[in-house]
Amino acid sequence: MQFEVVGLVEDEEGHAFAVCYNEDADEFVVTDAKGKLLEDTALAQEILDDFFVLADESSSTNGEASN
């Protein structure tokens, strides 16, 4: 199953994570900076939640004109 990186997220401590998506399975996964799947499901869910909030904010401002 192939996943495409759809976002990069960094926590307060500077650790980088990749949010990846597989369209066929409609599934998101989170990897560390080296591409290893996160085993800590609570951390992975927190990163996904943050990613979705940022993506929603970004999409809601795309249609607005900047001054």
pLDDT of 39-61, one tens digit each? 999 999 999 999 999 888 888 77
State the pLDDT confidence band at 67, using cuts at 50, 70 and 90. Answer: very low
Contacts of 6 (CB under 8 A, 6+ apart): 19, 20, 21, 28
What tens digit of pLDDT does each residue of 14-36 get? 999 999 999 999 999 999 999 99
In terms of C-beta distances under 8 Å and separation of at least 24 residues, what long-range contacts does 26-34 make, across chains too?
29/3
The structure tokens listed for 32 are 């560390």
> Structure pTM?
0.80
- As beta bridge partners, residue 10 has 16
| DSSP percent split of the chain into helix, strand, coil, nearest 5 | 35, 30, 35
| pLDDT exceeds 80 at position 63 | no
Count of CB atoms within 10 A of residue 5's CB?
11
